[in-house]
Amino acid sequence: AILASRCELYGGFPCRDSGAVACGKRWPLPVVSPRWLGSLHAPEENLVCLPPRSAFVISPRFLRRLRMEKSASCDSLSSKPSSSRQPSVDSLSSATTSRSERSVYAKSVSAMSSDSVSTSTDNFSPELRVLREANKLAEMEEPPLLPGESIKDMAKDVTYICPFTGPIRGTLTVTNYKLYFKSMERDPPFVLDAPLGVINRVEKIGGASSRGENPYGLEIVCKDIKNLRFAHKQEGHTRRSIFENLMKFAFPVSNNLPLFAYEYSETFPENGWKLYDPISEYKRQGLPNESWRITKINERYELCDTYPAILVVPANILDEELKKIAAFRSRSRIPVLSWIHPESQATITRCSQPMVGVSGRRSKDDEKYLQSIMDANAQSHKLFIFDARPSVNAVANKAKGGGYESEDAYQNAELVFLDIHNIHVMRESLRKLKEIVYPDIEESHWLSNLESTHWLEHIKLILAGALRIADKVESGKTSTVIHCSDGWDRTAQLTSLAMLMLDSYYRTIRGFEVMIEKEWLCFGHRFQLRVGHGDKNHADADRSPVFLQFIDCVWQMTRQFPNAFEFNEFFLITILDHLYSCLFGTFLLNSEQLRMKEDLPKRTISLWSYINNQIEDFTNPLYVNCFNHVLYPVASMRHLELWVAYYIRWNPRMRPQEPVHQRYKELLAKRTELQKRVEELQKEVSNRSIPTSSDKVSSPVHSATPVQTAV
Amino acid sequence: FVFFFSLQVEQVKLLDRFSSNTTKSSGTLYLTATHLIFIDSSPGSQNEIWILHHHIAVVEKLALTATGCPLVIHCKNFRVVHFVIPKERDCHDIYNSLLQLSRPVTHTELYAFSYNPKKNERERELGWKLVDLTEEYKHMGVPNENWQLSDVNRGYKICDTYPSDLYVPRTATKPIIVGSSKFRSKGRFPVLSYYHKEKQAAICRCSQPLSGFSARCLEDEHMLQAISKANPNNRYMYVMDTRPKLNAMANRAAGKGYENEDHYYNIRFQFVGIENIHVMRASLQKLMEVIGTKALSVNDYFSGLESSGWLRHIKAVLDAGIFLTKAVACEGASVLVHCSDGWDRTAQVCSIGSLLLDPYYRTMKGFMVLIEKDWISFGHKFSDRCGQVDGDPKEISPVFTQFLDCVWQLTEQFPRAFEFNEGFLIHVHDHIHSCQFGNFLGNCQKQRELLNLPPPLYLYCPFLLTTLQKLKTKTKPSGACSLFCSAYLSFEQTHWITNCTSHHLLKCLHECCSYNHLHLNTNPSYGQEILTRSIFKKLKKFRGEPLDLSHNSPKQVLYQRSSSPVLKAPNCKGEHILLPVSDNIRTVEGSTNGDGFHEYPAAFVKVEPTVVSLELGVARMTC
């Protein structure tokens, strides 16, 4: 069920069926610039119209099995009608928990059949039931449901105006979690499946008297670089109820409804909420030590409500002093340790801007505090303060009481501005980017258009900033303090990227999850505001793609170091998809304090539970675990690329014809196989070498380790 | 090697044009008969730069500075080296010598004639025989009932830029061929380039007809009809003129031009609009300026890239190849391709088409065959286009570079479909200009025969095969370890990446990248392979007897993948449907047993779609 739902959620990316259709069965696949098509007079069936990535293509074989399964489950239903719902749920959860059962079909079938059972009993209004019974087609076009999900509205004879393959007629369903459109007109059936969380705004198009082709309908603007357009029949009045239900369930927060994450009732073997434990993470870094201590002053979030409960501060600063420093930092976000170099003891510390103001206020405590951060690192007698903002903005902030550290007040500190623009500039840049990539790409001016969005330039600045920090810590052995205005947007980007460069642990799947938990969630990146979960106020100036930019930077790094990351591109895309989907509790709310107050770990499921449950889908087969390797990505324009697989993924023309995940699977398998073989042989070698001489025993092991690291 | 140091200058500084790092390496510059060598003398440094004189495109002497006289060398493989020589006199000497050495006047001055890797006669002959085009055509399925080997061009009587063995339709008699060749520019009449066995469709190539505004030639019309009739499945054929329509029209005024659809029976005529060699040369020039020396600070990198038009041209070539592929694979129609003379754009389009149609050409050996067949034997003017000997600079054009770039774009889009990697392409590109091997010398077969190449010269393919082989068989555990560790470590060193300006679209072509990192990105199991082999070796040592590598060893499997085409011609032609992905995921955990391995190679090694087709959105084209 997980797999099936995932397939549908993420645009069929991991769907084996679509791969087969695209690459094997429908050979050959000639898709070229349309201008050739006319001249070729190719017979229709040779031109394979690839469905957009959003389509989950179902093979005939799958359908056959589905039908069989359905009839079977209906049989069981008729024999035991009263308890029909319970067993189906049971069978579903057992299918998800049993890891031995790897068949995609089995899982998706069980999901499909269970929904057909569960929905038939109580989720239908009488009218819908009539509709359903009258129309076999509608039955085929029903969505599979997640546990906790229920159908809220359904409209048949709706036309989806696909910008790539033209209008398609089918059934549109709205549940409390997703928007689901399925058409049996095409073979294989066309499916569009989007979580309601990605919806940015819904607009009505045309009136009852509008003329032309498909003039009357809905336009749905999504957060993940796509728009959906549906046309309704003017006479059916289906648009109104669909619109109302969309407005209600896509924006539950505005309607005082709970987000779907609170209703989602899937079970996973691992609890992702337990993944990050600050104490053990700091312990991994070797903390506390003689110069750094762990403080619980913020246990009740009284010192700073956007900071986590557990903080690491210089050992010689008392809790009382921390309170004074908090008064001098914007939103009380005092400098605290994010990462410490295991050898040089150089640190990355983060905070918000000092409240210098126009008058140039100073705080003796703050100065002493930064001094002790510097003193904690014996290797260097300098401290670098990185202000992520452009210096103009930093100066402008003085008028609002903020500002930056003056080098006169802070002895031995050097202040560097990193010129990264604020959230509003980033939002605008992404808007421009969407304009040029969706739905059509203007081929002749592609590169100059891309340049005019400045998106890659922003990415470059962020990467370059993180690179400078990493370089100062690694090569300069100097401690660093990083802040922007409030220390939750650009600061989080910079610290986490620098940590990713410096520490190979964060390049593993679990390590990366820990880093997101630590640097982003605990340190109060305001996900609720930046993403606007379930909020209909789409023009909110607080929304900004800050986290998306961070993931993009990570992707750029994976491009430059294909062997250094344990996770693959699909992992990053999955994280971004669930940033918007509201299926998991991970990215909800603004701070650790609020999450604890709402008791999210009890009431919702963590994204990490889901990801760690099927970790092989997210594993990069080329990964080599190299400890203590510092990555210095090149932050130059010519090394950066647009992340086509994310930003232009809905365009079927941009999709690679070979399913990448399949290749990854094979490579991973190959790798395990070889590793096994190597182990066997090593055993054999060491067995043989024991009688000859003692030094030979170690030699195979010795020779093996470096090669393995180089794989 | 025997070095004749004709010149030796010490205390030369090497400037790194990418890092602002002020530490310059200084060392000694040697000038030998064949190479310019820079050896870093700073302690601990292993930096050596070897530049073959033939690779030098431009030598610039800049104005004298306080530290010395700067000398900038631009290479044909896009490397740029910046030396500072303390004494102006030395600089002048080097400059003059390089000018002379980098512009050989006759072919016999080329490196190939002095290159002597100390191999015996037999090995050398084997090299020449490695690619046997007659065999390759047989492999393709010709001669057959419709196509035959024709001896009309024996002794290059009809067309001196064609090879002597040509394949023509059986129904085309000698008078028809001769008549047709008289009606075609440079006598390059339509001949077979690739035969698609399954569809019985052919890709043929020729030069433009001498039609002018009204001329027609019955023999030529018969010739085209014969080609069309040689394909029993399809009555019509395509004629692709790879030029832009405007250029073709302009040629009519010179008595040349294109086929008139009314005169020829059942042809479908199509222009595909690839620009000529002069446009391409200018485009590469612009591209180099954009990515060139001072460009690191330039913000409008993308608009520069766009205005250079290079990617647009690459797209045009690929589009034409796709058109060709679709015509053959989807419609089963034969296609005749020509441009003006039928040796530049025609070669590009035919070879891209073959590459897309036939997985064989995506193997290492197959790719060499493709180059031999479509480029070398059909007279792509390597000598002129690469400027091997001093000649008309207007003849120089990056036609072959473009072809390699197209192939690279394909490898990016189909990472699994190709046996070789970008390092292979860089290597080929380097040796096009190096003149180290006999293959790419001269302009056509006839000229090569006149140069009397075979006995004294070494060929490229066997060399390439042995180098790759060597790399693959470096099994000494220590060696292997250091090889791969260093390769991996190089990731760490920023200067490695910045040095090889690797990021423009020919990022690969820039620097003679060492082989170390070739396999790094592509073959994850490679390290294990080496490890496995080293362990096998050890086992062997313990046993003191040759170890029988049982057929289910992973080594064997990997060998099939990596080197089988080298050892034997791969039989991977024909239908290869992609892995049945609709099946459950191959249960790999259990496949360590013997059976699993038998099944594995089939699934793992040869999983290429027969026809590679692709989407050509600019956004997908990497740069």
Tell me the domain boundaries of chain B. Answer: 7-103, 126-293+300-514
Task: Say which residue, A696 or B480, is predicted with more confidence.
Answer: A696
Burial A264-280 (b: 16+ CB within 10 A, else e): bebebeeebbebbebee
Q: Which amino acid is at B165?
A: D
Q: Kindly list the catalytic residues of A.
A: 484
Q: How many inter-chain contacts (A to B, CB under 8 Å) are there?
A: 275
- Chain B positions touching A673 (Cβ under 8 A) are 554, 588, 591-592
Per-residue pLDDT at A658: 64
Ranking A250-264, A687-701, B395-409 by mean pLDDT, the lowest is A687-701
pLDDT band at A628 (very low <50, low <70, confident <90, very high): confident
- The band of B616, judged by pLDDT with boundaries at 50, 70 and 90, is very low
Q: Is A340 helix (H, G, I), strand (E, B) or coil?
A: strand
Buried-exposed string A497-530: b where 16+ CB fall within 10 A, e elsewhere: bbbbbbbbbbbbbbbbbbbbbbbbbbbbbbbbbb
Element (H, E) at A635: none
Q: How high does pLDDT run on average in chain A?
A: 79
Q: Which residues of A touch B409 (CB under 8 A)?
A: none
Range of weakest confidence among B55-69, B130-144, B543-557:
B543-557
Q: Is A344 in a helix, a strand, or coil?
A: coil
Q: Could you say which DSSP state residue B377 is in?
A: I
- Give CA separation, A233 vs A141, A173, A214, A507, in Å: 18, 16, 8, 51
Verify whether the Cβ–Cβ distance A689 to B542 is below 8 Å. yes
- Residue-wise pLDDT for B86-109, tens only, equals 888 889 988 998 888 888 888 877
Contact residues, B window 413-452, toward A, CB-based 8 Å cutoff? 413-417
In whole angstroms, how large is the CA radius of gyration of chain B? 26
Chain segment A496-552, per-residue pLDDT in tens: 999 999 999 999 999 999 999 999 999 999 999 999 999 999 999 999 999 999 999
Nearest-angstrom CA–CA distance, A372 and A366 = 10
Residues B491/B520, Cβ–Cβ less than 8 Å: no
Rounded to whole angstroms, the Cα distance separating B448 from B451 reads: 5
Q: Check whether B597 has a pLDDT greater than 70.
A: no
pLDDT of residue A428: 96
Q: What are B110-153's pLDDT values in tens digits?
A: 877 777 666 666 766 666 677 788 999 998 998 999 999 999 99
The pLDDT of residue A125 is 54
- Residue list, annotated binding site of A for substrate: 397-400, 422-423, 484-490
Could you read off the pLDDT of A40-67 as tens digits, one per residue?
A: 222 333 323 333 333 333 333 443 444 4
Name the 3-class secondary structure at B548.
coil
CB contact under 8 A, A638 and B291: yes
> B604 in contact with A at a CB cutoff of 8 Å?
yes
pLDDT, mean over chain B: 72
pLDDT class of B572 with cuts at 50, 70, 90 = very low
The answer, yes or no, to whether residue B514 has pLDDT greater than 60, is: no
Residue B73 counted as an annotated binding residue: no
Q: Which fold has domain B7-103?
A: PH-domain like (2.30.29)
pLDDT range class, residue B48, cuts 50, 70, 90 = confident
The answer on pLDDT for B155 being more than 80 is yes
Whether A641 and A584 have beta carbons less than 8 Å apart is answered as no
Residue, of A562 and A55, whose pLDDT is higher:
A562
What is the 8-class DSSP label of residue B232?
A: T
Describe the strand order of the beta sheet including A479-483 as a list of residue ranges.
A336-340, A347-350, A479-483, A383-387, A413-417
β-strand partners of A348: A339, A480
Q: How far is B356 from chain A (nearest CA, A)?
A: 11
For A44, A331, A364, A462, A533, the CA distances from B504, given in Å and listed in that order, are: 39, 45, 51, 22, 40
Rounded-to-5 percentages of helix, strand, coil across chain B:
45, 15, 40
Cβ–Cβ of A670/B531 closer than 8 Å? no
Q: Which amino acid is at A173?
A: T
Alpha-carbon torsion angle A444, A445, A446, A451, nearest 10: 160
Domain locations along chain A = 146-250, 272-648
Window from A153-157, A549-553, B191-195 with minimum mean pLDDT:
A153-157
Stretch A5-17: mean pLDDT: 36
Q: Of B493, B611, B616, which has the smallest distance from its Cβ to A27's Cβ?
A: B611
- How far does A88 lie from chain B, in Å, by closest CA? 24
Choose the closest CB to B582 out of A20, A629, A631.
A20
Are A183 and A169 in contact by the 8 Å Cβ rule? The answer is: yes
Q: How confident is the model at residue A664 (pLDDT cuts 50, 70, 90)?
A: confident
- How confident is the model at residue B493, as a pLDDT? 22
Tell me what the mean pLDDT of segment A565-588 comes to.
94
Query: Which residues on neighbouring strands pair with residue A417, listed in sequence order?
Result: A387
Q: In 3-state terms, what secondary structure has residue B157?
A: coil
**How would residue B561 be classed by pLDDT, with cut points 50, 70 and 90?**
very low
Query: Nearest Cβ partner of B532 from A561, A564, A677?
Result: A677
Class of CATH domain A146-250: mainly beta
Lowest mean pLDDT among A68-77, A241-250, A659-668, B417-426: A68-77
A136 has pLDDT over 70? no
Give the nearest chain B residue to A467 (CA atoms): B494
C-beta atoms of B521 and A562 within 8 A? yes
Type of residue at A208: A
- pLDDT at position B163 is 92
pLDDT at B548: 33
Burial of A198 from C-beta contacts in 10 A (0-12 / 13-18 / 19+): buried
Q: Report yes or no: B414 and A657 within 8 Å, Cβ to Cβ.
A: yes
Q: State residue B508's pLDDT score.
A: 32
Q: Which residue of A has its CA nearest to B493?
A: A632
* Torsional sign, CA A666, A669, A673, A678: positive
Question: B496 with B529: CB under 8 angstroms?
Answer: no
- B518 vs B523: CA distance, rounded Å: 9
pLDDT (average), residues B208-214: 91
**pLDDT confidence of A657, banded at 50, 70, 90?**
low
| pLDDT tens readout for residues B1-41 | 444 556 788 888 887 665 545 556 788 888 888 888 888 88
**pLDDT higher for B431 or A251?**
A251
B478 is in an annotated binding site: no
Give the residue on A whose Cα is nearest the Cα of B522.
A622
Residue A663's pLDDT band, with cuts at 50, 70 and 90, is confident
A28–B611 CB contact, under 8 Å? yes
* Top-confidence range, A328-337, A634-643, B103-112: A328-337
Q: Looking at per-residue confidence, does A636 or A614 come out higher?
A: A614
Question: Does the beta-carbon distance from B503 to A39 stay under 8 Å?
Answer: no
pLDDT of residue B127: 66
| CA atoms of B518 and B522, how far apart (whole Å) | 8
Q: Do A671 and B525 touch (CB under 8 A)?
A: yes
What mean pLDDT is predicted for residues B490-512?
A: 27
How many residues belong to chain A?
711
